[in-house]
Structure 1
Amino acid sequence: MKNTIGKLSLICLTLPAAANLHAASRESTALEEVVVTAERRSQSIQDIPASISAFDENAIRDGGIVDVSAVAPKVPGFYAGGFGTSRPQLYIRGIGTRQFDPGSESSIGVFVDDAYLGRTGGVLGTLKDVQRIEVLKGPQGTLYGRNVIGGVINVVTKGPTDEFEAEVEAGIGNYNSKNLFGAVSGPLDEEGKIKGRAALWHSYREGYMTNLNSGEHPQGLDNTGGRLRLDFTPTDRLRIGLIGEFAEDSGDSFQGESIGSTTNPDGTLLGTGSPTKSGNKFKQFYNTDTDYNREINAFNAKIEYDFDAGTLVSISTFRDMTYVDDRDFDNTDLDVMRQISDEDSEQLTQEIRFVSNPDSSLSFDGKVDWIVGFYYFQDESVHTDTFLYGEDAVIYDPSIDQVDVTGGDFDTTSTAYFGQATINLSENLDMTLGLRYTKDQKESVMFGTTTDASPLVSADFNVVNPESEFTSTDPKIVFNYRLGEDASVFASYSQGFKSGGYQYTPLTASQASIVFDPEELEAYEVGFKSQWLGRSLTFNGSVYQFDYTDIQVSRVVELADGSTPSLIDNAGESRIRGLELDLLYRPLASLTLSFAYAYTDAKYLSYVASEGVDYSDTRMVRAPEHSFNIGAEYYTPIGNGMDLILRADYAYNDEFFHEPGEADAKYGSTAPFTKEDAYGLASLRATVTNDEWRFSLWANNVLDEEYRSTILALPGQVINIYGLPRTFGASVSWTY
């Protein structure tokens, strides 16, 4: 087993952008080494027997990765959509969720500097001053814990440097986009025991949707943020790292195109009359303009102390998030309903882990690498949705202000104990054993009020749900066999767990008291990693099967009493099988080519929904059967100390479904609109750079492909939320 960073020159599992493809001088066809901390210690990515993709700072910048969702097109099998930054939908290998309220949690864990982002509404934000992004596929319960049943997005920000550095970047683009960024870093004392780094940024892009009634532009971006890092090294054994950051988002909320249903193209939920149609997907008539504001503040303290036997690590975090989202619910020029979502959450985490020193006696002369730890998580959140009715609502009464309110006050406490050891059974064979025990304790008070006893909340209610407890013991076992210096095969078995929870926007006391069960997953995977031709070619692959039970599926449904709540069902049993292949080749020192492919067969084996509809033997949502990306990068000196870098990428998703039922009309009049046709996204970038300056021209979605990032399927109405059209621009940066 290899405990330290290997000497391999390698690349990430899934795509070319993960490598440092353009060093200042490239004289060899050997691919650069990629080092990750996915296993909570620094390792070469080829040494880790798991499916991992990684993106270094060059790949993040040159790949146009501005937030977590921008990673998805570059990783086959990874889907990211949603209703703006507060309502993301992340799926890896068919596993994910579209729920975002505090009563439920994501199936994909997002971590920033070892801190778990517990609130789904806060996982998407502008990624600036980032050193690396890692994507881990499959359940990661042993080292990462709860609610990572589908995978992990691990973000590592840039730390302070040993010498003074400064960086400034400015960019412009279509949709009136503007980007500014600046950072300084270096020692703060003569001995270099105190170092700091400060970064500030502002990103703006006008929305690509247009309200033809007002001229406003929803679906935009307006983000300001900053991060301050301080590193202290009082002694050779003690290291202290402090991080404080803030982010503010404002502007218009998400809006889309209402297309009704097959039986009534003008249909709007709880509305009367016919809306005005524009004939242009990106230009619509809305009754009101939207408004969105989000604030996030986070603090992180990491303390490390080196003992002879290993390193004791303490990570303490606090995170506060508030947002208000005010929008035209029906997405038409009819005055039917406004929805105002308001959330306030505070999160505290504490992790203590001990990572072995391979040279200590407790590691048996380097034969065992091990890690043990304890984890504590607490989240207190309040979420409220207010529905305001207008004159085109079916229950309009001009004599009163008609308002329905529903929401909840949530308290979650989670504790966990974990350990993992990698044992060198022979010169070429390693075995990894892991185990984590998790206990979640949740409480909620669900409430609703109404002014007219219809149409959503029929009567005031206040339901105090008794404490719910969810526990899980998740094992992991991996065998890794090295066939030679540049090739290995592995086989793994692991279990994943996602906590149970409470309903979103309950409309009655009985719905408010429904507690859905945890998800459980058993994962089997066999794979290989290899390098060839003097390490100029990397070829990796894997096959896997997930046995998935009690999947939490969220849908807006119409019940027998006429109410239309958003309910989460536990969807019986499912099976997911897949194949993934990743190829990176540098035939010339100046040229790098890549291809990555994912086949996903995801099916509900047994799923009868709350309203009695049977979705058994249909494909799972947001799981395209085929997806791939291809890329090419050409690098050449052009004289006067300057280099030219040209790159092109294309990502393809096969058809998939936003809702259960495979778009079969037998599941309702909106079902045929829930299928997403296959689409591909192309991007181009040209960069001229030297030791200090960098100038880039770029274009994303070059072919101006029209696709939906998600849909809102309501009874009798579908609302399409479209992905970003073609964007292009230029940027210039200076580094000292």
Structure 2
Amino acid sequence: GWSPNIKHGDPTSETYLEYGTRSKRRAWAAYTQGVWDINDDFTLTFGVRWAEDDFRGQENLVIPTIVDVFTGITQGIFSSAGLGIGDSTTDGWANFNMLRGALDPVTFEPTGVVDPWVDGFPTYVSVHRNMDRVDRKVTGRLNLDWTPNDRDLWYFSVTSGYRSGGFNLVFFSTTFEYDPEELIAYEIGYKGQFFNDTLQVFASTYYYDYSNIHTFGSEVSAATGGTTTSVLEAPGAEILGAEAEILWLATDTITIGGNVSYTPSEYTKSLLIQDAADFRFPDDLIPNQDTNLDIKGNQVLQVPEYKGSAFVTWDYPMGERGDFALTLSASWISEVYFSQFETDFDRAPAYERYDLRGTWMSPNKNWIVTGFVHNLADEIGIRQIEPHGVTDGYRRTGQVTEPRLYGLEVTWNLN
């Protein structure tokens, strides 16, 4: 088949298109931090960071196409009206095919006669786009620690964050570049120990204020006419959060731990995006319809609202027969949206998972034998959903968690 040579691009077999892209990024950064011990209880940490990202990219695309010079001409010349044998002006192509023997004049069935010249002239369209951008940003961090005693620590921090912009390469997206992602993060946290230092507690609450956050959207490419998935800029988003973690040495042989988080989030400003993967609005059947949807108020992409895990470990010393430990763990996650539009067909339901692991270790620690069962309840969860548009039948693909898995591990240490 046809395979042109594009610099920096590999031939793409099994398709009539040839893409070639190249990108180059250079990044520089400088960071400094200072610590001020105000007194025995308070410590102030401050830092500043300068970053510069120089990003260059190019897209190359060659599209084979056909220049059709016959359809319009034959429709007029060979129509019944054009030949003076009737009034129709739309049967020219059929009359032309009968005259050249490609269409039976009685049955109107194709005869199998093929004349490649009537299909038009093959030609190629080559498209090139060169892009260059430089992003510079100064960010900072301010953190205040308060240690009223040896067992408690409170901290208060404000941090500005930045992720450089970039390009939507390969498919000649209408939005060919996007600006940096920026936020200011506020956090209050606590770390403490209780019950003679047998219980450790970590807790924090935070607020992320995005002035610009990267998301994804579908666009129609002006170069190819196809639908592309591009990184877009949502002009605002907020993520609130609270999380806690504990580690408790309940007895000499029992350890309990766990963590839980609550993270509500939403896009706070309007952004109209087309949902090209929504089968309720098939653009091929109902063209030119306005399918842009406003994502303001929707949950931020792939941010679950609830998440947590817990475990309990029982250690059983057996003296000269070694040591045995049994651990039961559990984890759970709330529903997750893999689309900014919060549609049910792009939502992964909540799921739980339980694991069991038992480990025996020889007295000299040379032998370790572990038996395990992953996903005790054999509950399958959806970890990723990938939506597809009209060319793929609006199907959804994705990744799921592993089914119940059990096994045995044996380790022998030669030392």
Q: Does 1:554 align with 2:216?
A: yes
By how many angstroms is 1:707 displaced? 1.7
**Which residue, 221, 241, 262 being the options, matches 1:599?**
262
Q: Deviations over 1:503-562 (max 9, x none)?
A: 0432x4x63x72110000100000100001111101110000000122111244557995
2:129 paired residue number? 463
2:385 paired residue number? 711
Q: Does 1:492 align with 2:170?
A: no
Matched-pair contact (CA < 8 Å) for 1:422–1:430 = yes
Matched-pair contact (CA < 8 Å) for 1:569–1:610 = no
Q: Deviations over 1:30-67 (max 9, x none)?
A: xxxxxxxxxxxxxxxxxxxxxxxxxxxxxxxxxxxxxx
**Which residue, 655, 659, 684 being the options, matches 2:339?**
659
Q: Deviations over 1:83-107 (max 9, x none)?
A: xxxxxxxxxxxxxxxxxxxxxxxxx
How many residues get paired?
326
* Matched AA of 1:516: Y
**Which residue, 434, 444, 452 being the options, matches 2:57?**
444
Q: Does 1:648 align with 2:328?
A: yes
Q: Matched residue of 1:640: which SS?
A: helix
1:529 paired residue number? 191
Q: Matched residue of 2:403: which SS?
A: coil
By how many angstroms is 1:439 displaced? 0.5
Q: Does 1:613 align with 2:276?
A: no
| Higher normalized contact order (CA 8 Å, seq sep 6+, divided by chain length) | 1
CA distance in 2, matches of 1:427, 1:407: 61
By how many angstroms is 1:602 displaced? 1.1
* Matched AA of 1:653: I
* Matched AA of 1:603: E
1:157 paired residue number? none
1:607–1:406 Cα change, 3 Å: farther
2:370 paired residue number? 696
1:516–1:407 Cα change, 3 Å: farther
Matched-pair contact (CA < 8 Å) for 1:410–1:443 = yes
**Which residue, 391, 396, 400 being the options, matches 1:722?**
400
Q: Output aligned runs, 1:228-247, within 5 Å.
A: none
TM-score by length of 2: 0.74
Q: Output aligned runs, 1:59-74, within 5 Å.
A: none
By how many angstroms is 1:479 displaced? 0.3
1:685 paired residue number? 357
Q: Deviations over 1:396-442 (max 9, x none)?
A: xxxxxx42233420110011111012211101110000100001101
1:699–1:460 Cα change, 3 Å: farther
1:426 paired residue number? 39
**Which residue, 455, 468, 477 being the options, matches 2:142?**
477
Q: Deviations over 1:239-271 (max 9, x none)?
A: xxxxxxxxxxxxxxxxxxxxxxxxxxxxxxxxx
1:650–1:606 Cα change, 3 Å: same
CA distance in 2, matches of 1:384, 1:565: 20
* Matched AA of 2:382: R
Matched-pair contact (CA < 8 Å) for 1:555–1:568 = yes
By how many angstroms is 1:387 displaced? 6.8
CA distance in 2, matches of 1:525, 1:430: 16
- Which deviates the most, 424-433 or 633-642? 633-642
CA distance in 2, matches of 1:459, 1:676: 42
Q: Does 1:573 align with 2:239?
A: no
CA distance in 1, matches of 2:296, 2:11: 32
Q: Deviations over 1:369-414 (max 9, x none)?
A: xxxxxxxxxxxxx7869473xxxxxxxxxxxxx4223342011001
By how many angstroms is 1:563 displaced? 1.7
By how many angstroms is 1:462 displaced? 1.6
Point out where structure 1 has 5 or more consecutive residues left out of the alignment: 1-381, 389-401, 664-671
Q: Matched residue of 1:550: which SS?
A: strand
* Matched AA of 1:705: E
2:412 paired residue number? 734
* Matched AA of 2:309: N
**Which residue, 635, 639, 642 being the options, matches 2:319?**
639
CA distance in 2, matches of 1:427, 1:524: 24
CA distance in 2, matches of 1:407, 1:607: 34
Over alpha carbons, which structure has the higher Rg? 2
Q: Deviations over 1:601-633 (max 9, x none)?
A: 111111414544211111112111111111101
Q: Matched residue of 1:606: which SS?
A: coil
Q: Matched residue of 1:451: which SS?
A: strand
CA distance in 1, matches of 2:221, 2:296: 20
- Which deviates the most, 518-527 or 443-452? 443-452
CA distance in 2, matches of 1:638, 1:728: 25
By how many angstroms is 1:473 displaced? 0.5
2:347 paired residue number? 675
Q: Calculate percent identity across the aligned residue pairs.
A: 21
* Matched AA of 2:395: Q
CA distance in 2, matches of 1:581, 1:415: 36
**Which residue, 515, 535, 542 being the options, matches 2:204?**
542
By how many angstroms is 1:701 displaced? 1.9
CA distance in 2, matches of 1:686, 1:472: 50
1:414 paired residue number? 27
1:618–1:387 Cα change, 3 Å: farther
* Matched AA of 2:383: S
Matched-pair contact (CA < 8 Å) for 1:696–1:732 = yes
Matched-pair contact (CA < 8 Å) for 2:187–2:204 = yes
CA distance in 1, matches of 2:399, 2:316: 41
- Aligned-residue Cα RMSD (Å) equals 2.1
CA distance in 2, matches of 1:705, 1:459: 51
TM-score by length of 1: 0.43
